[in-house]
Structure 1
Amino acid sequence: MLTYCLNEYPSAHGFENGLRPQLTFICKAEGNEAAIPRVMHKHDERFELMFILAGTGIYNIDGRGYNVKRGDLLLFNAGVLHDENPHTSDDLLIFSCGVEQLKFEGLPLNYLTTRSQAAVMPSGHLYGEIRGIFEQIWQQVMSKKRYGAEIAHHLLSVLLLLCRNIWLENNPEYSSADSLLGQKIKTYIDNHYKDEIALKSITAALNMNQFYLAHVFKAWSGYSPKQYQTRRRIGEAQSLLLSTDLGVTEVANAVGYDNVNNFHRIFHNLVGIPPARYKKFWLTGHIKS
């Protein structure tokens, strides 16, 4: 029989001041209907963790582009813009959860990593363990049994500590010149996305060559500056449709589109359904013709 004592291992700081993370939601997305893109958006009040059990997609987190696949873990720190575009497939299966009150020493509230670290990491040999924890959390929440919520909160703590270890042990920080430049371009577009931005206005503001700027940003983010601006606008439009009573024309104007027909066309192209149907989908859970 083998026995291991905890004091045989080096101690490590867990959650700061004993503050326990709180689960705000858990979501299980399955199949083709779950593949509706959620374009550029952020959550200021919470951290989110996503786990790809099956399927693939293209995600942009804090301006950096990622091609994700089965077994990948995705981190969305609070206040960080991200773009979710899972590929349509019958076997698509994704777990995600929202977390508040997450505090690790040396990091802002509701952050699991620094912003200079990659936001996507393969789970590797921990795939089965992480999948099992997500499934247990889902079962406890769905059962609505006594102590179910309490058990789910404790399981969440285990899950987050496992993920924190994965990032600390495997993930170098990225601070290359191109990465820093990509962030500068992103910040400029984020601050002016409602305006008509010409590439020359960005290059003038950052004092650099247009071709080089476009090349660096495309390689870093996966989008051209114009594509990023469009996704920023449509992502904000999605948020307004879900969180306000504004009509489609009002939403279009609020994100920088004077022509509602142009907004309608671009929204449909990116999201796959028109703005009004998108809002109904999130209210009812079903796409209606």
Structure 2
Amino acid sequence: MVLFQHFGLESKPIFKHFDVTDLNYPIHLHRAFEILYVRRGQVQEQVDDHVYHINPRQFIIVFPNQIHGFDMAPNTTATIILFSPEIISAFSEQYTDQVPDNPVIFDSTPPEFEHMNNIFGIKSFLYGLCNKVVEQTRLAPRKASSQLTTIHLIIDYINNHYQEECTLKQISAAIGYDYVYLSKLFQKTMNISYTKYLNSFRISKARELLKNSNEAITDIAFAVGYSNLRTFNRNFKELNGNNPAEYRKSSKTTKYAKAIQENYISG
């Protein structure tokens, strides 16, 4: 299973939305469409092998099964919308195996959800966004890339084995690729080394446990794959700016955290 993969695989079509502030999320993929609308600040998002910057009054749309992850600048607030392809079947069927050349779309009207009380209101809202996508960018055939397929395999392995040692050499043996090749491919495609990505992934898991559980910090460190508490504390502070105890004390329950607690989000 890949991070977020269950989105779009439920027995009924999903439509979920939540606001997030100063959130960084590692590379992942899922079958649902994802829209991230910036209300304040700036977001840097990687989609497949491209990096985009999204500013206020813009949104970025990620199509099903595209690799993506994002970093928010300080004091950034955004709305994330996830929905099944079936809700906009006319659009998703017409553009099967296509993706936007430029997924960053201008939209001067922030999304509001108070009056979306039924499926017709939801469809109207989403098709309106689809119309903006068609008007502002070109949809082109998705590039079949063996390299991206290999990246999918690496991310999949990390998601299933991050609690263990999980070295790139172990992955190379598991999927049958040369270690040096995988190391260079990962750095080139993801703009980050494998080790830094794994640490970022583990720390993102730790942040959620710190916010949403009462587990001891030592237990959390071990649960996300660290065998040394000192290394965990050092990496956490490097990536988060404070230590785990300070983060737990200062963190507040947000709609995003609530969504995690309700299994809207995996990881």
TM (norm. structure 2) is 0.67
The answer as to 2:82 corresponding to 1:95 is: no
- Deviation track 1:133-178 (CA, whole Å, cap 9, x = no partner) reads 42xx1xx64xxxxxx4639x86653342234452795243132121
- Measured on the aligned residues, the alpha-carbon RMSD in Å equals 4.0
- Residues matched between the structures, number: 234
How far apart are residue 198 of structure 1 and its match? 3.2
CA distance in 2, matches of 1:120, 1:239: 31
The answer as to 2:191 corresponding to 1:225 is: no
- Give the aligned partner of residue 162 of structure 1: 128
The answer as to 2:103 corresponding to 1:121 is: yes
- Equivalent residue in structure 1 for 2:203, among 209, 227, 234: 234
Over alpha carbons, which structure has the higher Rg? 1
Task: Report sequence identity in percent.
Answer: 21
How far apart are residue 191 of structure 1 and its match? 2.3
The answer as to 2:178 corresponding to 1:212 is: no
Indicate conservation of the 8 Å contact 2:46/2:68, yes or no. yes
- Give the aligned partner of residue 246 of structure 2: 277
Residue type at the aligned position of 1:236: K
Residue type at the aligned position of 2:184: H
1:1-289 aligned at under 5 Å gives the runs 22=15, 24-27=16-19, 34-35=21-22, 37-40=23-26, 48-52=34-38, 55-60=41-46, 66-70=51-55, 71-75=58-62, 83-88=69-74, 92=76, 94-99=77-82, 103-104=86-87, 117=99, 121-123=103-105, 127=106, 130-134=107-111, 137=112, 141=114, 148=115, 150=117, 156-165=122-131, 166=133, 170-283=139-252
CA distance in 2, matches of 1:244, 1:43: 25
Gaps of 5+ in 2: 1-11, 255-267
Change over 3 Å in CA distance of 1:202–1:99 after alignment to 2: closer
- Deviation track 1:251-289 (CA, whole Å, cap 9, x = no partner) reads 11111112222212211211223223333444267xxxx
